[in-house]
Amino acid sequence: MSLIAAGGVFIVGVISYNKWQEYKAKKSVERAFASDHDDVLMRSGEEVQTPSARHEPSFSLDETPLPDAGSGAYAAPEHVEGDLPAPSFAPDAEETDHAAHAADPAARAHRGANGAAPAASAAGAANAGAAGAASAAQRSADASLPAAELATSLVDPLIDCLLPLELEAPVRGEKILPALHKLRFVGSKPVHYIGLAVSGDWEPIVHGTVYTKLQGGVQLASRSTALNELEYSELVTRLRGVADEIGAEPHIPDMIEVMAEAKNLHRFVASHDAQLGVNLASNGAPWAITTLLGALEKQGFDVRPDGRYTMRDNEGGQLFSLSTNVTLAEETTPRLTLLLDVPCVAPVRDGFGAMIACAKSLVARLDATIVDDYNQPLSDAALTEIAGQVKDFYAEMDSADIPAGSTRALRLFS
């Protein structure tokens, strides 16, 4: 009887332990994906807004620092929803592979309304160069920003999903940086962190500073894709592991709303991913590559070992690039393409004007003609019309609080 009683107690104990483990696992999952928590996207300071009362956040760098629970993720302006007048740049053959995810494929282009476009063979190499240049320009811009402005640029309520982390106790930067470095990307989307220092300012997390609160942010969209459900689920799982390691409690926004924000932002990015080019065609025999090198260097191009050519302004930032439209193994080319990555060059730098001026100078130096994709000469009137379209394009980006060439734009279009 004693053995039977002991066996019964043991069995009841095992069943109770298993039930307790199941309960803990269930609560953990519910906490990660529940929608009844305080949604960081709906908060402004300590006041909770209803969805109908939600306002687009303001991003002036002179305003107060980020609130504890964040000021909301990307809330697209009305014109982003699909009624945004797309700039009349028509897509070329290379761009049609990406048109499926663009709200208006005509906006994702290399070609002007009058046909000013690079050859398709130039597009791939130029796009890769433009992305690298955008990343370099972003790093250069970030390095010159004050700490408070850099914090806002790293975790930006307009283009990031905010992830508040409530610390159990103040911590030093060097104690938490190793853990935070374990979660720097989800898929291709960067994850950044800032901290509320004891001085009362939000700033990037560095060694030697004590922080009372943390704020994470994952970028909602990039040039290629929007943040998706799988990436967000991975983010939630990994973020909880990081939070446990540093002694913090993360506030996870609702997945459905975050996905809507990400798709909204990517729709805008896709419809404004414009790369504008003009071609130079030889009036005689094809140019020898060795002859071109000297002419391009005299023109001011930065000639790189990988065959890419970039034109920089007085401050070292890239204005536009040039492609020979042939592989490195070729010895001659009959055609050159100048390419401007429109959203990555600020209007004040006049990238399009500088590109056309360079093209006209090369026309005289190389005995060439500025032509469109069909080898038809482009008149000054046609180029002036395209310049007007570029100006309208910049105005649209300004109205969406994503000015061309800004840190925000460089993050999105890198």
pLDDT tens digits, residue range 369-403?
Answer: 999 888 899 999 999 999 999 999 999 999 999 99
Amino acid at position 30, single letter: E
The fraction of the chain above a pLDDT of 70, given in percent, is 69
C-alpha 181/C-alpha 342 separation (Å) is: 33
- pTM of the full predicted structure? 0.65
- Closest by Cα among 167, 220, 213, 214 to 191: 220
Residue 3, class by beta-carbon neighbours within 10 Å (0-12 exposed, 13-18 middle, 19+ buried)? exposed
Q: How far apart are CA 152 and CA 162, in angstroms?
A: 11
pLDDT in tens, 36-88: 444 333 344 443 333 333 333 333 333 334 444 333 333 333 333 333 333 33
Query: Which amino acid, one-letter code, is at 398?
Result: D
Cα distance between residue 239 and residue 189, in whole Å: 14
Tell me, rounded to whole angstroms, the distance of Cα 121 from its chain centroid.
25
Backbone angles phi, psi at 89, to 5 degrees: -105, 125
DSSP letter for 146, please. -
* Position 12 confidence tier, pLDDT thresholds 50, 70, 90: confident
Spatial contact of 204 and 194, defined as CB atoms under 8 Å apart: yes
Residue-wise pLDDT tens digits, 296-339: 988 999 977 666 799 998 888 899 999 999 887 899 999 999 99
CATH architecture of 85-143+271-412: 2-Layer Sandwich (3.30)
pLDDT of 102 strictly over 60: no
Instruction: Name the fold adopted by 40-74+144-269.
Output: Cell Division Protein Zipa; Chain: A, (3.30.1400)
Note the pLDDT tens digit of each residue in 343-354: 999 999 999 999
Q: Where are the domains of the chain?
A: 40-74+144-269, 85-143+271-412
Average pLDDT, the chain: 77
Q: Same CATH fold, 85-143+271-412 and 40-74+144-269?
A: yes
Residue 216 pLDDT: 96
Q: How far apart are CA 161 and CA 90, in angstroms?
A: 32
The kind and range of the H/E element at 97 are none
